[in-house]
Amino acid sequence: MKLAKILGSVGVVSAAALALAACGQSGSSNNQGAKDAKKFPDSTPKKATKQGGTVSVALETDTPFTGIFSDELSTSAIDSSVAAPGEESLFDTDDYYRINNKGAATMKLDRKAKTVTITVKKGVKWSDGKQVNAKDLEYPYEILANKKTQAQRYDSTLESIQGMKEYHEGKAKTISGIEMPDGENGRTIVIHYKQMRPGMYFSGNGYFWESAAPYHYLKNIPFNKLQSCDQIRKKPLYFGPFKLDKLVRGQSVTWVPNKYYWRGKPKLNKVVIQVVNPNSASQAIKSHKFDITGVINSQWDQVKNTKGVNWVAQVPLAYSYVGFKMGKWDAKTGKNVMDKNSKVANKSLRQAIGYAMNIDAVNKRYTQGLSFRVNTLIPSGFGAYHDSSIKGYNYNLKKANQLLDKAGYKKKGKWRVQPNGKPLVLHFATMSGSPNAEAITQNYLQQWHKIGLNVKLTGGRLMEFNSFYDKVQHDSKDIDFFQAGWNLASEPSQGSMYGETSPMNYERFVTPENNKLLAEMDSEKSFNTKYRVKVFHQWQKYMYDEAFVIPTSNSYSINAVNNKITGYSTKPSQNNNGHQLWYQVGYAK
Amino acid sequence: MWKTILRRLLIMIPQLIILSLLVFLLAKMMPGDPFSGSINPNTDPKQIEALRRAAGLYDPWYVQYFRWVGNLFHGDLGTSYIQHVPVTSLIADRANNTFWLSLLTTILTYSIAIPLGITAGRHQDQWQDTGVQIFNYITLATPGFVFYILGLWLFGFTLGWFPISGSVSANASGFWGVLGSRLYHMIFPAILYALIATTGTVQYLRTGIVDNKVEDYVRTARSKGVPENVVFHKHILRNSLLPIAAFLGNTITGLLSGSMIIESVFSYPGMGKLFLDSISQRDYTTLTALILIFGILTLIGNLLSDIIMSIIDPRIRIQ
């Protein structure tokens, strides 16, 4: 799921990115996330819709948007929001991101033949009236894999398609594993895989692409010019409900209905999306400048009494976490290597640090209750895969002290020392950015001091985003543990994040048990959902116990929606690859 | 005179070389790179590494530097890592926005500051002077960003008189429509900016007038029976404008560098905003190009100022 991908490293607290985010909603019962989600509705009230009207959407960002209107080449969540009214992906999903056949195309898995067959529906037309065909389904793979396009979104998951790697490396002229049984003008492609994975049933799985590219429109542009050509930067062609009418570079886009849209005529006459400085967001909501505006959570108190809007929220697939540096990335072998002598190698120490953090109080005090504690690494938005039985590291100073005492971290004067008698100083790294970051960090430090741990901030202060990730990614010696955030893809598999060969496993945590569980998630056996769910639960328990990553919080993503608007929803089933189903949004009669 | 200008232009060459080297090295020393923001669960770090290598980010600094300088000589400032368009086109776009905003601001600044300065100087220690001085201290003491945000809140949001962001409305169409919308978007930031940018000019002008009023040549003129109006405009005012003229060169070239603060507050896509963004996003190509341009503009600005001064003030003409 595109939106999820891009936000990842910016962290959960990134305010600007929350604008228009529309790709996740907890729907499962009896767990914390779901209970909290009910604090806000996930959709506008259902009303009869009239034809016509303009909806203006605020896009909160510090920087002008890039405006690369291509799913294959775009690299930012902001661009994705800008393109939302026009860009539709091939598949719709249910509320747990499982692909269904309600979207523009259908998908069929054949485990024996190791193929995925994608057929686009008849009548799905580009906004110039041409039917979306097989070549349009195949072309994105060429754009992604051809090195000349410099597409950031090519990845090794795609290399499980036969012939993909050869094409990427320039050894083959075509991708041998993608077949068009009815020719380029047919509506079907068959993709041949080296191995089938249970994650393929989910949107955002990365094994196949979920967008089409208008080959007839782009075919004359050389791959190295694609990123900057007018067809992608100024006059994009989509098959979604709206087509681009006007673009002011970096500032605003105006969308008008695509008369060939396959689901029928959109309700609105116009959708205007305009950039607003995040600092002005609360004022924009209070003065009703826009019909849809993302709430910056830290400004909630200023806007919460605004009349005439509906608060529509979702719990994004995301979490912030505290991670412990347990080793190093070995670039030569492409593997994470654990270091037994790491200062935080002791499990009890990590657990104690977790128990000492007063997350609930921090959330209550600093986030107006819009953030809430999460206990496990699989968000409740994943339904059954989320293990609600995990208690998490609830605030418990006594337990923290006990753990440390037992593990031999004795107190010598004010601070505890290592079991071998050497002094213990831990360095904690965290990012600046959100208005409360400083206060929250000081609170955590205080808590750790209470249990006798001498924790200092890396570099003595909060770090700017780039410096922070530079240090974390390069396993800087100045960091023993750190706080950051992830936004997740909508396929729950965890191998690409916590695997032995994943550079994003910033903790460098590798154990045979972890490897085994991660492999099981994507195994042949896991095609049985019950089994897969079981493995996910096991993994979550294991991760909880090992505590090398302690998930801390997640936050609502709230939109202020003009209360005359209906048909707006954040439910995954009412969205399409993170995009609002714009054709059904309109004004109430 | 021409010799001086030629000499100054020649000195600019080593200055620019040193500047370019410094700019380049400092930019590279910043932690992170244009790709650090792109790493997340679903982009493959291996692909990002491959792109870094392809972009030459792992070459030794001198290789990167000379490649950059080599391209500069071909008029190629590179392609923006973030916007994925040629930097020249990006900068041209923004410079256009900034130029008109700055021009409007400068016109407004002078048309507010010069009458105020003259009034204050002419009516020294009278109520007019006190009024201007109070205004001046207020604008001097007000930090720009506070003033702009306050203005934005009051006139943009509360009263809704002016647009709150951007350089042109999404709904504007046709030549006049777009022109009108552009002006409408510029006028408010320009007024706010001009209001607090007047301080220096007012003060210099006032002091100049006050000082010149008691000069010997003014007394001589008066004793010759020259009418008071002529004394003021010909003898006092002209001399008092000298300090302002001294800054004129930089004011002219400054039209292109823009203001980071006002452009950020109003999300106005100009050069200052581009500069800030390119720092936070580590857009090396854009960043280095911008600093180089700012550097060149400053050098030219100083040169222009000197030339202007030597034209209007024969005393400082250098041989």
Q: Is the pLDDT of residue B171 over 80?
A: no
Q: Is the pLDDT of residue A15 over 70?
A: no
Indicate the range of A35-49, A379-393, A440-454 predicted with least confidence: A35-49
pTM: 0.83
Q: Who among B82, B149, B269 is closest to A251 (CB)?
A: B269
**Average pLDDT of span B15-44:** 77
pLDDT for the residue B257: 78
- The more confident residue out of B318 and A312 is A312
Predicted confidence band at A23 (pLDDT cuts at 50, 70, 90)?
very low
| AA letter at B39 | I
Q: Pairing state of beta strands A309-314 and A557-562? A: antiparallel
**Average pLDDT of span A324-350:** 93
Q: With contacts defined as CB-CB under 8 Å, which chain A residues touch B164? A: 276, 280, 283-284, 289
User: Nearest CA to B194 among B276, B109, B268, B252?
Assistant: B109
Residues A494-526 pLDDT 10s = 988 899 988 889 999 999 999 999 999 999 999
**Average pLDDT of span A523-543:** 95
**Average pLDDT of span B22-42:** 74
Q: Is the pLDDT of residue A331 over 90?
A: no
pLDDT for the residue B248: 83
Q: Is the pLDDT of residue B23 over 70?
A: yes
Q: Report d(CA A17, CA A5) in Å as an integer.
A: 12
Question: How big is the CA angle at A107 (ends A103 and A108), to the nearest 5 degrees?
Answer: 150
**Average pLDDT of span A224-250:** 93
pLDDT for the residue A13: 31
Q: Is the pLDDT of residue A35 over 90?
A: no
**Average pLDDT of span B176-184:** 88
In chain B, what's the furthest Cα-to-Cα distance?
86
pLDDT for the residue B37: 64
A313 contacts chain B (CB < 8 A): no
- The more confident residue out of B74 and A144 is A144
**Average pLDDT of span A184-202:** 95
**Average pLDDT of span A49-68:** 91
Indicate the range of A72-76, A208-212, A581-585, B2-6 predicted with least confidence: B2-6
A68 contacts chain B (CB < 8 A): yes
Residue A185 three-state SS:
coil
Tell me which chain A residue has its CA closest to the CA of residue B37.
A9
B37 contacts chain A (CB < 8 A): yes
pLDDT for the residue B24: 85
- The more confident residue out of A132 and B21 is A132
**Average pLDDT of span A166-178:** 94
pLDDT for the residue A38: 61
Which of A14, A63, A82, A232 would best serve as a mutation to test chain B binding (most B beta carbons within 10 A)?
Answer: A63
Q: Pairing state of beta strands A242-248 and A252-257? A: antiparallel
pLDDT for the residue B317: 62
Contacts of B47 (CB under 8 A, 6+ apart): A152, A153, A154, A155, A156
Copy the structure tokens of residue A429. 């790294």
Report yes or no: A544 and A376 within 8 Å, Cβ to Cβ. Answer: yes
Residues A277-300 pLDDT 10s = 888 888 889 989 899 999 998 889
pLDDT for the residue B41: 56
Which of B43, B153, B282 would best serve as a mutation to test chain A binding (most A beta carbons within 10 A)?
Answer: B43
Tell me which chain B residue has its CA closest to the CA of residue A149.
B51
User: Nearest CA to A6 among A430, A318, A474, A277?
Assistant: A318
Tell me which chain B residue has its CA closest to the CA of residue A79.
B83
pLDDT for the residue B314: 73
| AA letter at A522 | D
- The more confident residue out of A38 and B209 is B209
pLDDT for the residue A170: 93
B167 contacts chain A (CB < 8 A): yes
Residues A457-494 pLDDT 10s = 998 999 988 889 889 988 999 999 999 999 888 899 99
Q: What is the mean pLDDT of chain B?
A: 85
| AA letter at B111 | S
pLDDT for the residue A564: 95
CB contacts < 8 A (A, B): 169
Copy the structure tokens of residue B102. 């700055």
Q: Report d(CA A154, CA A474) in Å as an integer.
A: 23
Q: Report d(CA A60, CA A301) in Å as an integer.
A: 18
Q: Is the pLDDT of residue B46 over 50?
A: yes
Residues A112-153 pLDDT 10s = 999 999 999 999 999 999 999 999 999 999 999 999 988 888
**Cβ distance of B54 and A206 shorter than 8 Å:** no
Q: Is the pLDDT of residue A7 over 50?
A: no
**Average pLDDT of span A68-72:** 93
What count of other Cβ atoms lies within 10 Å of the Cβ of residue A178?
A: 22
**Cβ distance of A473 and B93 shorter than 8 Å:** no
B61 contacts chain A (CB < 8 A): no
pLDDT for the residue B42: 58
pLDDT for the residue A37: 46
**Average pLDDT of span A561-571:** 94
DSSP A269: S
Q: What is the mean pLDDT of chain A?
A: 89
Q: Report d(CA B81, CA B281) in Å as an integer.
A: 9
Give rounded-to-5 percent helix, strand, coil for chain B: 75, 0, 25
Alpha helices in A376-484 (DSSP H): 397-406, 437-450, 465-473
Tell me which chain B residue has its CA closest to the CA of residue A58.
B165
**Cβ distance of B39 and A504 shorter than 8 Å:** yes
Q: Is the pLDDT of residue B1 over 60?
A: yes
pLDDT for the residue B38: 64
DSSP A400: H
Tell me the Cα Rg of chain A.
24
pLDDT for the residue A422: 92
Residue with tokens 């500032």: A251
pLDDT for the residue A100: 93
Report yes or no: A374 and A552 within 8 Å, Cβ to Cβ. Answer: yes
**Average pLDDT of span B264-277:** 88
Helix (H) or strand (E) holding A107: strand A105-110
**Cβ distance of A504 and B40 shorter than 8 Å:** yes
Q: Is the pLDDT of residue B214 over 80?
A: yes
Helix (H) or strand (E) holding A314: strand A309-314
Q: Report d(CA A200, CA A139) in Å as an integer.
A: 20
Report yes or no: A67 and A82 within 8 Å, Cβ to Cβ. Answer: yes
Q: Which domains does chain B have, with CATH numbers?
A: 12-73 (no CATH), 92-316 (1.10.3720.10)
Predicted confidence band at B226 (pLDDT cuts at 50, 70, 90)?
confident
**Cβ distance of B41 and A254 shorter than 8 Å:** no
**Average pLDDT of span A584-588:** 94
User: Nearest CA to B198 among B300, B80, B115?
Assistant: B115
**Average pLDDT of span A47-70:** 91
Count how many residues are written for chain B.
Answer: 319
pLDDT for the residue B279: 86
- Tell me which range, A7-21, A207-221, B243-257, is most confidently predicted by mean pLDDT: A207-221
A280 contacts chain B (CB < 8 A): yes
User: Nearest CA to A34 among A361, A366, A386?
Assistant: A386
